[in-house]
């Protein structure tokens, strides 16, 4: 059974938006080695987004290319989760966002890689391989920042507290996420937040926060300024 266009757009948009956010760090990371590492994750995600968009466009059958989907849709047509459109904030918030995203994304990609949609399975398998490496790097940072200095611990806990409500959109049952991250949090001497009264959601329906419009305005401005042009 093949994935729907909506599902493919969700997979694509998560990665397009998150890849874009990570690219904002290039030239501004805490150390040169990290400029390279974050760009690496960003590049992988943008590559994944491109392939998912290509598949979505094919299946949609309206003749829209990956570029047209990326650069000409309005915010309400985007299907990314709210977590990925959150601004980078400090390095702790970026790392927390990545850990939370990969903790959900990896099991989903592995499930799709075993699923009946052959084309999607191939893309998902490749994406899973890359995500495993991303998770290794960002989890290492999660632990180092959580159990590093007082300041890094404080920032990491604050990041986790702030982003936790956004994980609702990524998990069917909250218990899963908790189980997945309990050991990691303990290693990092961090506390997983309690379940929020009002978990954030809406991204999958196109109801985004104000952040997405600013992000897309920047991302799409050159493409939109020259309708029909080749690049």
Partner 1 sequence: MTSEDSQWPLWEVFVQEKTGQPHEHAGSVHAPDAELALQAARDVYARRGPVVSLWVVESARIAATAPADAASFLEPGPEKIYRHPRFYSVPKAGKSGKKP
Partner 2 sequence: MPDVGSDEAERERRFQARIDAGEKIEPNDWMPDAYRRQLVRMMSQHAHSEVVGMLPEGNWITRAPSLRRKQTLLAKVQDEAGHGLYLYGAVETLGVAREALIADLLAGRAKYSSIFNYPTLTWADMGAIGWLVDGAAILNQTMLTKCSYGPYARAMVRICKEERFHEKQGYELIAVLARGTPDQRAMAQSALDRWWWPTLQMFGPPDDASTHNEQLLRWRVKQMSNDELRQWFVDLTVPQAREIGLAIPDPELSFDEASGHWRIGPIDWDEFWRVVKGGGTCNRDRIDARQRAHDEGRWVREAAEAYAKKRQA
Helices (H), 30-73: 32-60, 66-72
Short-list 105, 86, 116, CA closest to 203: 86
Give the DSSP letter string of 160-213.
Answer: HHHHGGGGGGG-SSHHHHHHHHHHHHHHTT--PPPPPSS----GGGT---HHHH
The beta-carbon contacts of 134-139 under 8 Å, at least 24 apart in sequence, are 134/41, 134/44, 134/98, 134/102, 135/99, 135/102, 135/103, 135/106, 137/37, 137/41, 138/41, 138/95, 138/98, 138/99, 138/102, 139/99, 139/184
Our finding on whether 28 is near partner 2 (CB under 8 A) is: yes
Site for partner 1 in 130-149 (CB under 8 A): 136-137, 140, 144
C-beta of 62: minimal distance to partner 2 in Å?
A: 18
Q: Does residue 36 touch partner 2 according to CB under 8 A?
A: yes
Decide: is 143 part of the binding site for partner 2 (CB under 8 A): yes
Residue 29 contact, options partner 1, partner 2, none, Cβ 5-8 Å cut-off depending on partner type: partner 2
Judged by CB under 8 A, how many residues of this single chain contact partner 1? 10
* Nearest-approach distance from CB 183 to partner 1, in angstroms: 17
> How near is the Cβ of 163 to partner 1 at its closest, in Å?
23
Q: Which C-beta is closer to partner 1: that of 37 or that of 185?
A: 37
**150 membership: H or E segment, kind and range:** helix 150-163
Is residue 40 close enough to count as binding partner 1 by CB under 8 A?
yes
Task: State the binding string over 54-93 for partner 1 (x if CB under 8 A, else -).
Answer: ----------------------------------------
Token pair 């874009």 in the structure block, residue: 20
For the chain, what is the largest distance between any 2 Cα atoms, rounded to a whole number of angstroms?
Answer: 54
Binding site for partner 1 (CB under 8 A): 31-33, 36-37, 40, 136-137, 140, 144
Binding site for partner 2 (CB under 8 A): 20, 23-24, 26-36, 39-40, 42-43, 46-47, 49-50, 53, 66-67, 70-71, 90-91, 143-145, 147-149, 151-152, 155, 218-219, 221-223, 226, 228-231
């Amino acid at each position: 059974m093949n994935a729907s266009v909506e599902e493919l757009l969700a997979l694509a948009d998560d990665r397009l938006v998150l890849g874009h956010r990570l690219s904002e760090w290039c030239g501004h990371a805490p150390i040169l080695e990290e400029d390279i590492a974050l760009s690496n994750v960003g590049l992988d995600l943008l590559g994944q987004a491109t392939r998912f968009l290509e598949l979505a466009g094919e299946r949609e059958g309206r003749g829209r290319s990956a570029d047209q989907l990326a650069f000409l849709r309005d915010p309400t047509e985007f299907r990314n989760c709210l977590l990925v459109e959150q601004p980078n904030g400090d390095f702790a918030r970026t790392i927390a966002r990545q850990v939370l995203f990969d903790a959900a994304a990896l099991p989903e990609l592995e499930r799709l890689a075993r699923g009946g949609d052959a084309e999607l399975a191939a893309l998902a398998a490749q994406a899973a391989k890359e995500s495993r490496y991303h998770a290794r790097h960002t989890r290492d940072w999660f632990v180092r920042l959580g159990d590093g200095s007082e300041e890094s611990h404080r920032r990491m806990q604050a990041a986790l507290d702030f982003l936790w409500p956004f994980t609702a959109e990524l998990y069917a049952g909250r218990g899963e996420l908790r189980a997945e991250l309990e050991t990691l949090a303990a290693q990092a001497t961090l506390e997983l937040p309690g379940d929020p009264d009002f978990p954030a959601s809406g991204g999958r329906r196109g109801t985004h926060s104000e952040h997405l419009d600013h992000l897309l305005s920047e991302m799409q401005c050159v493409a939109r300024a020259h309708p029909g042009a080749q690049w």
